[in-house]
Structure 1
Amino acid sequence: MFCQSSDELNELVIEAKKCVKHGKVADYIPELGKANPNELSIAIYYPNGNCISAGDIERKITLQSISKVISLALVLMDRGTDYVFKHVGMEPTGDPFNSIARLEMMDVAKPLNPMINAGALSVTHMIQGEDVKERLQRLLTLIQTMTNNFEINYNENVAQSEFDTAYLNRSLAYFLKQHRIIDEDIEQLLDLYTKQCAIEMNCLDLARIGLVFAMDGIDPDNGKHILPADVARICKTFMVTCGMYNASGEFAIKIGIPAKSGVSGGIMGAVPGKFGIGIFGPSLDQKGNSIAGIKLLELLSKNYRLSMF
């Protein structure tokens, strides 16, 4: 039987919080560096609409790399699998999420997967629309539909902070342009990508996105497909193999659920057929994952046998 009450969940949050002192916030993005490293919150969203939570689940967080899963879903629906995977690979990597080294070593400079930054930039490049505003709105509309929250938007301060400091992502994008994976203006692409990463929501919204993936793309309120089942399956597979940066293998062994993290401290989890999880804990480990968030998921997985393996 899974965790039945917020009180029970709060006890696990208190236990997981003990490790926040071993991490640090993502201060290389100035706006994210303002976060309180001691925070930890979680929402768990069930198909029947029930939710249990602990911590300040109303606090807004930016998606950062969690957005990579949703932009992938959008371009898969737009362009189809053959087109998308002609430009980005399907293989996990042991390299850091922002590494350029592997691109240089490959015969064809195609990013290994959509969850590393080079792959995510390639995916964002594929979002259809006349300009940045239209392309961003298409992504926002999908996110608003998945959360059933049509107030969701992006945080302008975080987006600007990321745009101003996106030196490595610019390098990746120019490298990809040199090798014809990307063929648009790089500043335009970075404008879209940083706004994508700065899309903002709370843990309950994040958990509902996880639930849509967990239910193979189905809206829990009306039973209709927001995402085709095969798109949801592909996204969940990438979450398992690549979703937690270069700690994904260890995460799969210790916790064993599809999940995607972001350097804001967010984690979105999808327990197949059961529920969605939204976590915020801005103190990060060396791989860029929420250190207390991972500990909390470890405790949940161990106590309630969540692993799909």
Structure 2
Amino acid sequence: MSTDLRELSTMLPSWLEASRRISAQGAVASYIPELQHAPSDALGIAIYSLEGHTLEAGDCSHSFTMQSISKVFTLLLALIDRGEQAVFDKVGMEPTGDDFNSMLKLELVEPGKPFNPLINAGAIVISSLIAGQTPAEKAERILAFIRRLAGDSSIAVNESVCRSESRTANRNRSLAYFLKDNEVLDDDVEPTLEVYFRHCSIEVNCRHIARMATVLANDGRDPQTGRELVPRRYVQIAKSFMITCGMYNESGEFSIRVGIPAKSGVSGGILALVPGQLGIGIVGPALNGKGNSIAGVHLLKQLSERYDWSIF
């Protein structure tokens, strides 16, 4: 079913406000102290069609850091830099069923490599695979990649969030040292974590996320120019991970209830896409118990049901 953009444009503001009320049932992330300043009732959405139509509602100008959404794009860049074999020698292709920052499977399952690139352990390893001689060079290449896909050269790292992440990263340091001890992480821990913290702290808004999502919805090509920004095969891989692992431990339920590739972050952002049709960016800082935007998930569910977006 193709989306009725005229109806969607008319109804989106009221549907968003209905979902905004759900925010009261969630809570803003506080384990990274700098994130807890976000307004808990904020909710914004941008929807971009591959034909160039743009729909927006709510707090679209609200800035937020990409957090785990960035893991989709570091995976893509690592695949571009290293190729499939090198990447999947270091990370697996399976969902874990555990929390995104869990160490459990690293100890229990041989050979001790992360199950997938979208959990913290996997994303830390992926950060080490980005081409570059120094952490600064790797981080700058990631930022340049994000800017190119989002079409905005002014996108930057939020340095306050980055420092906050680094100061409170005991679990991530534990994961990284464990990976280093298992000889899965080849680079040194602290330089690798510097790259990881910086790409999680890239600051964007819903419009940026929607624009990036249209590239994925268009199999790696810029809908505006037709130029290939990411090889189609790598976009296929990323979308598969988004379906199976993109919404933390809610990924299975989200696939059943919404049914489209998506990736969330604990700042409340969600990147989602309807293949061949739409790119979607959402921010709603109040999270549910799984770490996903509670109002954002609610809104996506309503839209998917109305327009039959599920790919299944």
TM normalised by structure 1 equals 0.98
Superposition pairs for residues 248-287 of structure 1, below 5 Å?
248-287=251-290
Provide, for residues 207-252 of structure 1, a one-character-per-residue CA deviation record: whole Å limited to 9, x for no partner: 0111100100001111010000001110001000100001100000
Alignment of 1:173 with 2:176, yes or no, is: yes
Match of 1:116 in 2: 119
Distance in 1, Cα, partners of 2:216 & 2:306: 23
Amino acid corresponding to residue 101 of structure 1 in structure 2 = L
Between the aligned partners of 2:123 and 2:113, the Cα distance in structure 1 is 12
1:157 paired with 2:166, answer no
Q: Report matched runs for 1:24-173 at 5 Å.
A: 24-173=27-176
Q: Structure 1 unaligned runs (5+)?
A: none
State the TM-score, normalized to the length of structure 2. 0.97
| Structure 1 residue 3: Cα displacement | 4.2
Moved more, 116-125 or 48-57: 48-57
The alignment partner of 2:287 has SS state of: coil
Q: Pick one of 16, 21, 25 that aligns with 1:18.
A: 21
The equivalent of 2:232 in structure 1 is: 229
Q: CA deviation at 1:128?
A: 1.1
Give 2:243's match in structure 1, choosing from 236, 240, 244: 240
Identical residues among aligned pairs (%): 49
RMSD: 0.9
Distance 2:302 2:220 in 1: 27
Does residue 293 of structure 2 align to residue 290 of structure 1?
yes
Distance 2:29 2:183 in 1: 31
**Structure 2 CA distance for partners of 1:98 and 1:91, relative to 1, 3 Å:** same
Alignment partner, residue 2 of structure 1 = 4
Deviation of 1:93 (Å): 1.6
Instruction: Specify every segment of 5 or more residues in structure 2 that has no aligned partner in the other structure, as ranges.
Output: none
Which consecutive aligned stretches of 4+ in structure 1 deviate over 4 angstroms post-superposition?
none
Q: How far off its partner does 1:82 sit?
A: 0.7
Contact 1:103 1:111 in 2 (8 A): yes
1:49 shift after superposition: 2.1
Question: What residue identity is the alignment partner of 2:248?
Answer: Y
Q: Give the 3-state SS of the residue equivalent to 1:87 in structure 2.
A: coil
- Deviation of 1:2 after TM superposition, in Å, equals 2.9
> In 2, Cα distance between the equivalents of 1:258 and 1:73?
15
Query: CA separation in 2, counterparts of 1:290 and 1:206?
Result: 15
State the alpha-carbon separation in 2 of the partners of residues 132 and 93 from structure 1.
28
Q: Return the alpha-carbon distance in structure 2 between the equivalents of residues 98 and 286 of structure 1.
A: 14
Q: What CA distance in whole angstroms lies between the structure 1 residues aligned with 2:22 and 2:205? A: 22
User: How many angstroms apart in 2 are the aligned matches of 1:21 and 1:13?
Assistant: 14
C-alpha distance in 2, partners of 1:7/1:267?
A: 22
Q: Does residue 300 of structure 1 match 2:303?
A: yes
1:116-165 CA-to-partner distances (Å, cap 9, x unmatched) read 11111111111110111110111111111111111111100000000110
1:185 CA drift (Å) = 2.0
Aligned to 1:216: 219
Distance (whole Å) between structure 2 residues aligned to residue 160 and residue 16 of structure 1: 32
Question: 3-state DSSP class of the match of 2:227?
Answer: coil
- For these two proteins, the number of residue pairs brought into alignment is 309
Does structure 1 residue 205 correspond to structure 2 residue 174? no
Contact 1:3 1:9 in 2 (8 A): no
Distance 1:94 1:15 in 2: 31
Shift of 1:7: 3.8
- Secondary structure in 1 matching 2:111: coil
Partners of 2:59 and 2:10 lie apart in 1 by 14
